Chain A
Amino acid sequence: MNVRRVSAVVLKESREILRDPITVGVSLLMPLVMLFLFGYAISLDVRHAALGVWDGDATPASRELVEALTGNEYFRLTAHYGSLHDLEQSLQRSEADLVLVIPPGFAADLVRGARPEVQVLVDGTYSATALLVSGFARAIIAGYRQSGRPQLLHLETRVWYNPSLNSANYVVPGLYAVILLAFPPLLTALGIVREKETGTIQSIFASPLTAAEFITGKLVPYSLIAFLQMVMVIAVGYAWFGVPFEGSLPFLLAAGLIYVLCTVGIGLLVSTVTRTQLVAMLLALIVTLMPSFLFSGLLFPIFTMPELLQLYTNVFPGRYFVDISRGVALKGAGLEILGFEVALLALYTLAVFLLAVWRLKKKVA
């Protein structure tokens, strides 16, 4: 590698990029747009679930139970039903996420010391939400008036790493990985194809520049942009979404640099195998953005997938960086724990680079 030739390509490429301010602007803005959209849209939390009540008892004790449920941010009271028919209608129309049925004689049972029974009907259409809602309801009801009674077993649950069980803390660091897999390749996929379309690539081929020098020269400026995108999304995640940052920032940035080199490299690889900018864009979308949602572990834990798909996820560098960024942000993990993932990413980057160099044969056909 001749440093002078590589730096000539870097300089030329940087100038071309900077003189297209719209593209630079869009490429810096899009990751933020995506971060905000998904940071807010992908919420696995339940807040203010709609609660309907059929109170057949209508005593101070039954009202106390309802207040126990609505006295926090998880539920809000939306309806008191006059009949069981209304109740059914309400669930069918999805006006209530769950319904509490308090049978007559609830207060009397309590006074007698017998265990009164109440019924909770949950709309199970969205199973994940239903599970959470019924869990919350169960916990609150179980705690009702428990203070006066002797307890047989006391279970104390502590949630580590994400004590508030705030799903943004889980989603946003995962988004870093997805965003950096989605956008940098989209931009770089055009990098070499554009020169093929305009014909300038022929002058490059018929020059002393080697394929490795040319690819390196392209890699550097695009990786800088990608690195800038990364710093921006991490900063916004921390400052806006309030995602905790437990680990070492230099470590995350260093691992991120390897990651963006890898994703930018994928874009260049796409660029070497395609002939038109349109095809390059589509191919980049197909190999990066689409699988990155499914197979990076951003939304769906990889360990719950069928084994064959689990193997398949190894192909996507996003899954390693999801582990790294979540580990660093939430658990404060460092190289000693995430070393394997970082090493895999580095290996991946090298492979992508070599493949791109091999594909760019310095021949027109």
Chain B
Amino acid sequence: MSGEAIIEVQGLHRAFGRQPALAGLDLQVSRGEIFGVLGPDGAGKTTLMQCLAAILDPSEGACRVLGFDTVRQAAEVTSRIGYMSQGFTLYDRLSVDENLAFAAQIRGVPDSAFRDRRQRLLEMARLVHFGARRAGALSGGMRKKLSLCTNLIHEPPLLLLDELSLGVDPLSRRELWRMLRAFREQGTTVVLTTPYMDEAAYCDRLAFLHEGRLLAVDSPAGLRARAEGSVYRLRTAKTITTRERLDDAAEVIGVQWLPGQLVFQLAAGVPLPEPLRTALDGLGELQPVTAELEHAFVQLVGGGQERQGARQAAPVAKCTEQTAEAIAVTDLSVRFGDFTAVDRVSVSVAAGEVIGWLGPNGAGKTTLIRALCSLQRPSAGSARVAGQDIAHAPLALRQRIGYMSQRFSLYPDLTVAENLAFFAGAYGLRGEARRSAMAWAIEMTGLEGTESRWVGDLSGAQRQRLALACAVMHRPQVLFLDEPTSGVDPTSRQRFWELIQSLARGGMAVLVTTHYLEEASYCHRLGLMFQGRLIAIGTLAELQVEVGLAAGAEIEAIFMAYMARERSQPPGEAVA
């Protein structure tokens, strides 16, 4: 690093109405680094990026980008940088080539340079063969790569990327990062935001953003070192007892309830207190483990208010009826014309099991879940979900399943109680049954006191727990979750997963689709889907061993290893 400051932020404040999004930020980014801004949804990441891109003026303070003031010299900034906003910034009706050409023309790239760079970028992004395809017909990962290309076509000295990997599968994510690293070699500075710890770990330096404030700025290793020595793991079968004893210790600021083990974290610089060691003695094997970024974040936030709610042990939910085998799928296929979205999948999920479902965009995960919810008629094969054949009695089936989508389907203009009442009505709960279901759901998710608040005013973590409450208030036997904790802070995620674990202990089978290690590690077993087929299933450890990877290998690496094994056929990315 040359140390030359590409970005200088001083006392940056930005408020929307009376709501402050950024509250006094000071930041410096040097030439040639990949700088990550990590924080949960609502932390102010997008506001910060928009200020840096000179498309949003600070309320107070100033940003200098590439030596120019973002307010007075906005045109100087915007004519130089590359900025990729959240979501997809492409013109869907234009082809890949046309999108690139438009980006080049408005940025004054000469035709000769354009031809060379176009070829090079498309090769890096593996999009060479898709030049004539409309952007709207690309998969999520391909769209992100193309978005990145349109922002690199003028070879900007500074690249601002908001939520680079949102909705991108590990395969595409790896290619995105390869491109970023290649451009960093040429001296490009990259600033990106992410809510994901595993992605943040790739950055040279990292800023933790929480509620509009910077908690810390350091290298990932430096941040991890701050929490080093305060994280312990207990392998145990007696998770409930362990959990209760951990609750009694004031020094514990975070608990991750993983399958067969609990990972807990102590406040910074506190040695393992003797009473706790004694209390945990005999429950299982206790050992210190390496701290992750997540632990550093929890330490900096200080456990926080969320822990208070978590202390009330979540009441264990018992399902009304129990079927030992919650999901039994036999040779299930779904075909759309010539395209096989789901190809002879067989899987069995036991009651009380949490199973993670992974795969690139377009691998058939969503189609499979739609079939299991009886929203999509299978072309062949059969499946029983919660004891019901999916081909018959779809109504009886839907009474026994719950579904929580990634973009929580709540009504922001209704109160918490009204949302719950609506979903209770939709499940056919009336009178006393409805009242008790609502009371149970509110207590379980720790939303007491928020009943009369508008959902639009809740925090992201509260909305997410409400969405869960709405999905499980009829005590389904099978629960489907779609990336349930992406974009929430680690403490809230730990708490959410604790709820899921306690629901599972009550006999609920939970199927989670995700791209992220943070979520996958909470699952008992993982299933990997690729091109419609289930290519692997097992515990995280089993999967690591099967492809010969070290324990602790990331989802992405496991993914790539399995994918490489499957590469007998070309990997043509299917349309999501």
A250 within 8 A of partner (CB): no
From A1-9, A41-49, A126-134, A347-355, give the one contacting chain B.
Answer: A1-9
User: Contacts A203-B83, A206-B81: A9 and B93 contacting too (C-beta < 8 A)?
Assistant: no
Q: Are A8 and B55 in contact (CB under 8 A)?
A: no
Smallest CB–CB gap between A341 and chain B, Å? 37
B105 touches A5 (CB 8 A): yes
How far does the Cβ of A47 sit from chain B's closest Cβ, in whole Å? Answer: 50
Task: Tell me how far the C-beta of A273 lies from the nearest C-beta in chain B, rounded to whole angstroms.
Answer: 18
Our pick among B56, B108, B151 for the contact of A208 (Cβ within 8 Å) is B108
Cβ of B272 under 8 Å from chain A: no
Question: Does B75 interact with chain A (Cβ within 8 Å)?
Answer: yes
Tell me the A1-53 residues at the B interface (CB within 8 Å): 2, 4-5, 7-9, 11-12, 15-16, 19-20
CB of B550 closer than 8 Å to a CB of A: no
- Kindly list chain A residues whose C-beta atoms are within 8 Å of the C-beta of B87: 198-199
Which residues does chain A contribute within 8 Å of B78, judged by CB atoms?
A: 205-208, 362
Supposing A202-B85, A364-B50 touch, asked if A5 and B55 sit within 8 A by C-beta, the answer is no
Nearest to B99 among chain A residues (CB) is A12
1/0 contact trace for A206-220 toward B, CB 8 Å? 111110000000000
**CB atoms of A4 and B89 under 8 A apart:** no
Q: Which B residues are CB-close (under 8 A) to A4? A: 105, 108
What's the Cα separation between A242 and B150 when bound, in Å?
53
Q: Are B89 and A200 in contact (CB under 8 A)?
A: yes
CA distance A206 to B55 in the complex (A): 6
Cβ contact within 8 Å between A8 and B106: yes
User: A198 near B88 (CB under 8 angstroms)?
Assistant: yes
Measured CB to CB, the nearest residue on chain B to A208 is B79
**What residue of chain B has the Cβ atom nearest to residue A200's Cβ?**
B89
Q: Is A149 an interface residue (CB 8 A)?
A: no
The reply on A365 being an interface residue by CB < 8 A is yes
> Is B107's beta carbon under 8 Å from chain A?
yes
B-side interface residues, number (CB < 8 Å): 36
Q: Does B90 have its Cβ within 8 Å of any Cβ on chain A?
A: yes
Distance in Å: Cβ of A187 to nearest Cβ of chain B = 15
A363 within 8 A of B: yes
Q: Chain B nearest CB: distance from A123 CB in Å?
A: 54
The complex places the Cα of A9 from the Cα of B103 at a distance, in Å, of: 10
Collect the chain A residues with CB atoms within 8 Å of residue B55's CB. 202, 205-206, 362-364
Whether B53 lies near A2 (C-beta < 8 A) is: no
Most chain B CB inside 10 Å of its own CB: which residue of A9, A204, A362, A364:
A364
- On whether the beta carbons of B50 and A207 are closer than 8 Å, the reply is no
A7 — which chain B residues lie within 8 A by C-beta? 105
Q: How far is the CA of A205 from the CA of B94 in the complex (A)?
A: 19
- Nearest neighbor of A213 in chain B, beta-carbon distance: B106
Bound together, the chains give a CA A352 to CA B56 distance in angstroms of: 25
Q: Return the CB mask of B136-169 against A: 1 if under 8 Å, else 0.
A: 0000000000000011000000001000000000
Instruction: Determine whether the beta carbon of A362 is less than 8 Å from that of B74.
Output: yes
A19 touches which one: B79, B93, B106 (CB < 8 A)? B93
Interface flags, A327-365, vs B, CB<8A=1, else 0: 000000000000000000000000000000000001111
Do the beta carbons of A15 and B98 come within 8 Å of each other? yes
Provide the residues of chain A in CB contact with B98, threshold 8 Å: 12, 15
Give a binary string over B60-104; 1 marks a CB under 8 Å from any A CB, 0 the rest: 000000000000001100110101111111111110001001110
Counting chain A residues whose Cβ lies within 8 A of the other chain, the interface size class is 20 to 34
- CB of B336 within 8 A of chain A? no
Is B444 engaged at the interface, CB distance under 8 Å to the other chain? Answer: no
**B91, A200: Cβ atoms under 8 Å?**
yes
Of B83, B85, B91, B106, most buried by chain A (CB within 10 Å of CB) is: B106
B339 at interface, CB cutoff 8 A: no
Which of A11, A15, A209, A210 interacts with B93 by CB under 8 Å? Answer: A15
A206 to B50, CA, bound (A): 9
Output the least CB separation between B186 and chain A (Å).
21
Minimum distance in angstroms from B299 CB to a CB of chain A = 34
Residue B54 interfacial (CB < 8 Å) = yes
- Chain A residues in 8 Å Cβ range of B134: 19
Residues of A within 8 A of B92 (CB): 198
CB–CB A203/B85 < 8 A: yes
C-alpha gap A365/B101 in the complex (Å): 28
Closest A-chain residue to B83, C-beta based?
A: A206
Q: Contact: B106 with A199, CB < 8 Å?
A: no
Among residues of A, the one whose C-beta sits closest to the C-beta of B134 is A19
Contact between A208 and B88, CB atoms less than 8 A apart: no
Residues in B whose Cβ lies below 8 Å from that of A209: 106
Q: Which B residue sits closest to A207, measured CB to CB?
A: B106
In the complex, how many angstroms separate the beta carbon of A189 from the nearest chain B beta carbon? 19
How near does chain B come to A16, taking the closest CB pair, in angstroms? 5
Verify A199–B93 contact, CB threshold 8 A. no
Q: Which of A199, A204, A210, A363 contacts B88 (CB 8 A)?
A: A199
Least distance between A50 CB and chain B CB atoms (Å) = 57
Docked pose: A11 CA to B104 CA in angstroms? 13
B519 at the interface (CB under 8 A from A): no
Chain B, 15-59, contact with A by CB distance < 8 Å: what is the 0/1 string?
A: 010000000000000000000000000000000001001111100
> In whole angstroms, what is the CA distance A5 to B106 when docked?
5
For the complex, what is the distance from the CA of A70 to the CA of B79, rounded to whole Å? 79
Are A207 and B79 also in contact (CB < 8 A) when A4-B105, A15-B94, A365-B56 are? Answer: yes
User: Could you tell me the distance in whole angstroms from the C-beta of A361 to the nearest C-beta in chain B?
Assistant: 9
Q: A199-B87, A206-B81 are in contact. Are A20 and B93 (CB under 8 A)?
A: yes
Kindly list chain A residues whose C-beta atoms are within 8 Å of the C-beta of B54. 206
Residues of A near B85 (CB, < 8 A) are 199, 202-203, 206
A199, B86: Cβ atoms closer than 8 Å: yes
Q: In whole angstroms, what is the CA distance A12 to B102 when docked?
A: 7
Which residues in A have their C-beta under 8 angstroms from that of B105? Answer: 4-5, 7-8, 11
A residues near B86, Cβ cutoff 8 Å:
199
Q: How far is the CB of A223 from chain B (nearest CB, A)?
A: 20
Known: A16-B91, A16-B93. A5 touches B108 (CB 8 A): yes
Alpha-carbon distance A198/B108, docked complex (angstroms): 24
Shortest distance from the beta carbon of A232 to any chain B beta carbon, whole Å? 25
Nearest CB in chain A to that of B55: its residue: A205
**When the two chains form their complex, are residues A202 and B89 in contact, meaning their CB atoms are under 8 A apart?**
yes
B79 touches A12 (CB 8 A): no
CB-nearest residue of chain B to A8: B105
Residue-by-residue, is B511-534 near A (CB-CB < 8 Å gives 1, otherwise 0)? 000000000000000000000000
Chain A residue nearest to B98 (CB atoms) is A15
Cα-based distance from A329 to B171 in the complex (angstroms): 66
Task: State A362–B56 Cα separation when bound (angstroms).
Answer: 9
Known contacts A5-B106, A207-B106, then 4 further A-B pairs from the complex at CB < 8 Å, ordered by chain A residue: A15-B98, A203-B85, A205-B53, A364-B56
Please report B residues at the A interface, Cβ cutoff 8 Å.
16, 50, 53-57, 74-75, 78-79, 81, 83-94, 98, 101-103, 105-108, 134, 150-151, 160
**What are the 3 A-B residue pairs with the smallest beta carbon separation, nearest first?**
A8-B105, A206-B83, A208-B79
Can you list 23 A-B contacts (CB < 8 A)? A4-B108, A8-B105, A16-B91, A16-B94, A20-B93, A198-B88, A198-B89, A198-B92, A199-B86, A200-B89, A202-B53, A202-B55, A202-B85, A203-B85, A203-B89, A206-B54, A206-B81, A206-B160, A208-B79, A208-B106, A210-B75, A363-B55, A363-B56
